[in-house]
């Protein structure tokens, strides 16, 4: 290792960060990375490699939590991009009877167009309820729209934050209002797609405010310009509403699911929802060959660490700065050419 070489210097700083700040064991970390990058074994544990989960946790904490300390620990399942994450989550919510045909699910609109179709396709039979934002409101969700979530017949709330196409993050007020709505509807499952989180200054994910109720989806695709790699993740709290709802299912549903998952675990009743998502991603039977390819997990580690080595030292990440400045430059040029007023608020992902 030559500390003068920029690649070596990064790897040295990354390992120092993992051992010093995250407290990971150096030998275990290096063995995991070396084995994983060769791709000689099935991913083990299949959900997420052990040190990788700690690194991805730190990345989410630094980029999306807005300084909040989330209790309970965050479990991660790396997936084939954010799209893969969404498909897996809807499949498992439906398969595990947490969402049933006829259930109402709220969707923060306007939304990434392909997502509009998820509730109606594949016989999920879900009924969509719009929770709308508009340009007049700075693309934040108004109080009365959030109020729709207080109705216990609304089983899930699905949002992209910062929004696409609105390109704005939810305000702190709206996050607080959402927390109030969840007090009235404590079984609400929130599914948040935060792929643009790092593009808003001062961002805080819904997961950091409502970790018990929220399933978080993140993707490296947009920030790092790596859509072809297919790398994203599902994150859920160790203590979460889905696991409670599973334990409260009618005995008939439980018996059916017990029978199915008993193929792959000795304790099907106690199998956490996120592990069911992993099993379902391979139709349960092929659970032992599930999990994201190990070289892809290493690539996620490297991208995450390229941020963490700066964040850990209390420094601004020059890559994220450059990415945001570039987007801002283009936004200003576009608005100027169109003769439109610019929005300089921190919630705008410009």
Applying CB under 6 A, which residues contact ligand PLP?
A: 81-83, 112, 160, 164, 193, 195, 219, 221-222, 227, 232
Quick one: how far is CA 132 from the chain centroid? 22
Q: Tokens standing for 96?
A: 């595990």
Residue placing its CB nearer to ligand PLP in the complex, 193 or 275: 193
* In contact, 168 and 348? CB cutoff 8 Å: yes
The phi, psi pair for 193, rounded to 5°, reads: -105, 105
Minimum CB distance to ligand PLP smaller for 24 or for 195? 195
Min dist CB 110 to ligand PLP, Å, is 11
Q: Toward ligand PLP, which CB reaches closer, 14 or 200?
A: 200
Q: How far is the CB of 16 from ligand PLP (least distance, A)?
A: 30
Return d(Cα 74, Cα 95) in angstroms, integer.
23
At its nearest, how many Å lie between ligand PLP and the CB of residue 287? 23
Q: Kindly list the strands in the beta sheet with 189-193, ordered across the sheet, starting from the edge strand earlier in the chain.
A: 74-79, 232-237, 214-219, 189-193, 154-160, 104-109, 127-132
| Shortest distance (Å) from residue 249 CB to ligand PLP | 30
Is the Cα dihedral 342, 345, 347, 350 positive or negative? positive
Pairing of strands 154-160, 214-219: unpaired
Q: 159 vs 257, which CB is nearer to ligand PLP?
A: 159
Residue showing tokens 């979530």: 149
Task: Provide the minimum distance between the beta carbon of 239 and ligand PLP in the complex, in angstroms, as a whole number.
Answer: 26
CB nearer ligand PLP, residue 193 or residue 260: 193
What's the min distance (Å) between Cβ of 232 and ligand PLP? 4
CA distance 30 to 70: 28
Shortest Å, Cβ 308 to ligand PLP: 20
- Residue number with CB closer to ligand PLP (119 or 232): 232
Closer to ligand PLP at the Cβ: 63 or 219?
A: 219
**Cβ partners under 8 Å of residue 194, min gap 6:** 64, 161, 162, 203, 205, 207, 216, 217, 218
Q: Which is nearer to ligand PLP, 17 or 229 (CB)?
A: 229
Name which of 109 and 257 has its Cβ closer to ligand PLP: 109
Bridge partners, 159 (sequence order)? 192
State the residue number with the nearest CB to ligand PLP: 81
Phi, then psi, of 104 in degrees rounded to 5: -95, 130
* Vertex 286 angle, CA 284 and 289, to 5°: 125
CB 281 within 8 A of CB 290: yes
In the three-class reduction of DSSP (H, G, I as helix; E, B as strand; rest coil), residue 215 is classed as strand
Residue matched to tokens 């700690």: 54
Secondary structure percentages of the chain, helix, strand, coil, to 5: 50, 15, 40
Q: How far is the CB of 13 from ligand PLP (least distance, A)?
A: 27
User: Closest approach of Cβ 169 to ligand PLP, in Å?
Assistant: 13
């Amino acid at each position: 290792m030559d500390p003068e070489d920029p690649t070596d210097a990064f790897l040295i700083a990354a390992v120092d960060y993992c051992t010093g700040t995250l407290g990971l064991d150096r030998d275990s970390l290096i063995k995991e990375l070396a084995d994983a990058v060769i791709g000689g074994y099935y991913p083990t544990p299949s959900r997420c490699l052990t040190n990788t989960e700690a690194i991805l946790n730190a990345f989410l904490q630094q980029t999306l939590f807005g300084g909040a300390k989330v209790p309970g620990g965050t479990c991660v399942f790396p997936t084939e991009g954010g799209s893969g994450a969404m498909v897996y989550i809807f499949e498992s919510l439906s398969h595990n009877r947490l969402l049933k045909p006829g259930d109402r699910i709220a969707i923060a609109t306007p939304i990434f167009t392909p997502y509009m179709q998820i509730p109606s396709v594949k016989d999920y039979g879900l009924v969509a309820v719009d929770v709308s934002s508009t340009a007049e409101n700075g693309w934040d969700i108004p109080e009365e729209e959030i109020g729709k979530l207080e109705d216990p017949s609304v089983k899930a709330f699905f949002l992209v934050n910062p929004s696409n196409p609105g390109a704005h993050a939810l305000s702190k007020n709206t996050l607080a209002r959402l927390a109030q709505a969840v007090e009235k509807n404590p079984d609400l499952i929130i599914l948040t797609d935060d792929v643009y989180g790092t593009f808003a200054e001062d961002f805080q994910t819904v997961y950091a405010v409502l970790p018990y109720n929220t399933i978080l989806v993140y993707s490296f695709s947009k920030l790092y310009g790596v859509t072809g790699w297919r790398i994203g993740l599902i994150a859920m709290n160790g203590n979460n509403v889905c696991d409670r709802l599973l334990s409260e299912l009618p005995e008939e549903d439980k018996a059916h699911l017990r029978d199915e998952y008993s193929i792959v675990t000795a304790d099907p009743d106690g199998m956490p929802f996120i592990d069911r998502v992993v099993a379902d991603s391979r139709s349960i039977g092929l659970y032992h060959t599930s999990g994201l390819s190990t070289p892809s997990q290493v690539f996620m580690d490297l991208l995450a660490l390229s941020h963490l080595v700066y964040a850990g030292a209390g420094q601004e990440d020059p890559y994220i700065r450059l990415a945001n400045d570039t987007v801002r430059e283009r936004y200003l040029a576009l608005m100027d050419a169109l003769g439109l007023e610019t929005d300089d608020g921190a919630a705008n992902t410009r």
